[in-house]
Amino acid sequence: MNGKFIALEGGEGCGKTTQIQSLEAWFCQRSDLGFTEIKRTREPGGSPLCQQIRQVLLTPDGDEEMQNRTELLLYAADRAQHVEAWLRPWLANGALVLCDRYTASTVAYQGYGRGLDQTLIKEINQIATGGLEPDLTLWLDLDPEIGLARAQARGTHDRIEQADLQFHQNVRAGFAALHQQQQLANPNRFIQIDANQSIEQVTQDLQAACDRVLKSWAKS
Ligand code: T5A
Give 124-154 pLDDT, tens digit per residue.
999 999 999 999 999 999 999 999 999 989 8
- Please give the distance, rounded to the nearest whole angstrom, from the Cα atom of residue 101 to the centre of ligand 1: 9
The model's pTM? 0.96
Stretch 23-32: mean pLDDT, rounded?
A: 94
Can you give the pLDDT at residue 212?
94
Q: How far is the CA of 64 from the centre of ligand 1 (A)?
A: 25
Residue 202: strand, helix, or coil = helix
Q: How far is residue 27's CA from residue 98's CA, in Å, rounded to a whole number?
A: 10
Q: Is 74 exposed, middle or buried (0-12, 13-18, 19+ CB in 10 A)?
A: middle
> How far is ligand 1, taken at its centre, from the CA of residue 41, in Å?
14
pLDDT tens digits for range 175-196: 999 999 999 888 999 999 999 9
Q: From the centroid of its chain, how far is CA 32?
A: 26
Ligand 1 lining (C-beta closer than 6 Å)? 10, 12-18, 43-44, 58, 75, 101, 105-106, 109-110, 150-151, 154, 158, 160, 198-199, 202
- Please provide the average confidence, as pLDDT, over all residues in the chain: 95
Give me the pLDDT at residue 1, please. 55
Q: Are strands 4-10 and 38-42 parallel, antiparallel or unpaired?
A: unpaired
Would you give the distance in Å from CA 169 to the centre of its chain? 17
4-219 CATH choice from 3.10.290.10, 3.40.50.720, 3.90.470.20, 3.40.50.300: 3.40.50.300
For residue 9, give the DSSP letter.
E
Looking at ligand 1, which atom is closest to the CA of residue 11? 24
From 17, 55, 103, give the residue whose CB has the most ligand 1 atoms within 8 Å, as the site to mutate: 17
Closest atom of ligand 1 to CA, residue 57: 12
